[in-house]
Amino acid sequence: MPLDLKNYLVIGISSRALFDLTYENEIYSSQGLEAYSKYQLENEEVILKPGIGFGLIKAILTLNEVIKGKRKTEVIVMSRNNADTSLRIFNSAEHYGLDISRAALTSGRSIVPYLEAFKVDLFLSADEEDVQNAINAGVASGLIYKSETEYNHEMIQEIRIAFDGDAVLFSEESEMIYREKGLEAFLEHEKMNAEKPLPEGPFAKLLKTLSYLQAEFGAEHNPIRTALVTARNSPAHKRVILTLRNWGVRIDEAFWV
């Protein structure tokens, strides 16, 4: 029976964000798919080094251990590899003790159609085009940047996520008024509509899921902390506060800048 993921925090992550596939990607770019596939098959027992998103994924998976017997998160590997060349990825996940058993392996096709099927709350990738396509499809997505220095893979003790407001948590409806008509018109519009909840943006579902998990974990020593950083200072901030109340979500910190 398939797992119902609607009450889970579901993170989709590309294999290149989870593990360091820099060399393998160079083979693909310079020599093509056949050479890449041959290399992966020949080295499928060679464990990959952690990638830039490894620490975050490991911390997210430990949320399943906070309340014994209550699984809260699922991580889905989203990759353009095929099943054959993906074995090295799962061997590496098993080596590091990552509780990952689900994947979308598309054999070169876009992964975007599978994000909705897996009920993905957040998609992380090292490929800018994949991230933009996911955002265009209404899925909260983030680009994993390669660090110029050695990345610290020590255990993350507290998961901290900061959100922007318009066009991120909320739709870009009000932002468009600001762009087209200026600040004065924007402030007047928000003042007149202060009691009307803002429409949801692409990251609203993620915030709601995080808020649900925070309530499950309780206030003391909560492993998740959220923040809102927005240019919506007074009086435009009132609509934001009332919208979050209407959604029934919590924000731990807010910065009106």
- C-alpha to C-alpha distances, 66 to 45, 122, 195, nearest whole angstrom: 32, 21, 37
Tell me the two tokens of residue 78. Answer: 């989203």
Residue 93 makes CB contacts below 8 A (sequence gap 6+) with: 18, 77, 100
- 99 catalytic, yes or no? no
Q: Is 236 exposed, middle or buried (0-12, 13-18, 19+ CB in 10 A)?
A: buried
- C-alpha to C-alpha distances, 86 to 12, 91, 125, 239, nearest whole angstrom: 16, 9, 16, 47
CB 46 within 8 A of CB 89: no
Buried b (16+ CB within 10 A) or exposed e, 23-35: ebeebbeeeeeee
Closest residue by Cα to residue 226 from 239, 234, 217: 217
Cβ-based neighbour number of residue 80 at 10 Å: 21
Of 84, 99, 164, 252, catalytic: 164
> Which residues are designated catalytic?
164
